[in-house]
Amino acid sequence: MKLPRAMSRLYNLQTLRLVGCLGLQKIDVTMLINLRHLYVDDSLGLIKGIGNLTDLQTLDGFYVPFWGDEANKLEDLKDLNQLRSLSILILGKSIVVEKSSIMVNKARLLRLELQFYCPDRPREVMDGLEPPPGLESLIIRWYGGGAFSDWLWSLHCLRVLTLRLCHCGFLPPLGKLASLESLNIECLSKVEKVGVEFLGIEEAQTSSSSSIFTSFPKLREFTIFRMESLQEWEEENSVNITIMPCLSHLTITWCKELKALPEFLWKTPLQKLNIWGSPFLQALYKQGEGEEWAKISHIPSIQIEED
């Protein structure tokens, strides 16, 4: 399947959508120098001339395959410094990325999606894709590097974060993200505990110091979805720590082994609590009958349902 040659002469074209074109293997955008928004399927192996599109603002579905001399490479994105929204699927086995070389000049980038589908040395690849500090929205899928890159919890403008299908055994210290408003943690099947490190608390901050640390200071919505191994959510009782002071909506779905929720949650301004497919929690917080029902009865909207 090929695009008509005439498309290469559409010099003033600003938006191109090639979604659902499953037989399309490559396109040539060399002459589409005014293109601002490009949406493609994440199986399109070659976007020839992508480096020429220096005014591109949206690139959705950039696919870096296992092999091929004629194939997309991360380095092709180096000079696309007007990008505001970028989605990358990385399958390469031996991708070498010089740290920050791809993202360093993308000061306008607000939204980034990184999909790591079995790449070699995923931690090195992730380290090399450190986004600019002004990033506001981030999705990370299928990451299997053990630990996330340190830059993740230094994105102080980040407002929305989704971690999905990542093969990591513990959660990073996301409580350090000062601007985070929405957090989704989905299908991290190896995580057995939400530990206090998730709150971003340093050891010195739990001491007798008079300074107060606020963990997740702007978080409003928090979703935990299909965490099959999750059994415990650790409590933090230090008087020097304020946790999630703006939390208004909490959703726990299909966390079948999770035994209880931490007490600090009932001190937050929760307006909505949704629990589905989590039998221990359903029994513990069941309306009028659960042992802990009294602790949550003040929340205006509560939905607790079985599978």
Distance CA 171, CA 191 (A): 7
State the pLDDT at residue 204. Answer: 47
| Partners of 48 in beta bridges | 28
State the pLDDT at residue 286. Answer: 93
State the pLDDT at residue 24. Answer: 86
Q: Residue 39 corresponds to which amino acid?
A: Y
Full pLDDT tens readout for the chain, 307 residues: 678 888 878 889 999 999 888 778 889 999 999 999 999 988 788 999 999 999 999 999 999 887 666 889 888 999 999 999 999 998 865 455 665 578 888 999 999 999 988 667 788 888 889 999 999 999 999 998 888 999 999 999 999 999 999 999 999 999 999 999 999 999 999 999 999 999 998 754 555 556 789 999 999 999 999 999 999 999 988 788 999 999 999 999 999 999 999 999 999 999 999 999 999 999 999 999 999 999 999 999 999 987 6
The DSSP code for 240 is T
State the pLDDT at residue 5. Answer: 82
* Residue 249 CB coordination number (10 Å): 16
The pair phi, psi for residue 268, each rounded to 5°, is: -85, 165
Predicted confidence (pLDDT) per residue in 181-228, tens digit: 999 999 999 999 999 999 998 754 555 556 789 999 999 999 999 999
83: left (phi over 0), alpha (psi -120 to 50) or beta: beta
State the pLDDT at residue 104. Answer: 81
Number of domains in the chain: 1
State the pLDDT at residue 114. Answer: 95
Contact between 306 and 282 under an 8 Å Cβ cutoff? The reply is yes
State the pLDDT at residue 71. Answer: 86
Predicted confidence (pLDDT) per residue in 25-34, tens digit: 889 999 999 9
Contact between 8 and 28 under an 8 Å Cβ cutoff? The reply is yes
Pairing of β 37-40 and β 232-233: unpaired
State the pLDDT at residue 203. Answer: 55
Taking the alpha carbons of 294, 298, 299, 300 in that order, is the dihedral positive or negative?
positive
Domain residues for the domain of 176 are 5-204+212-305
Q: CATH code at 261?
A: 3.80.10.10
State the pLDDT at residue 179. Answer: 98
pTM for the full predicted model: 0.93
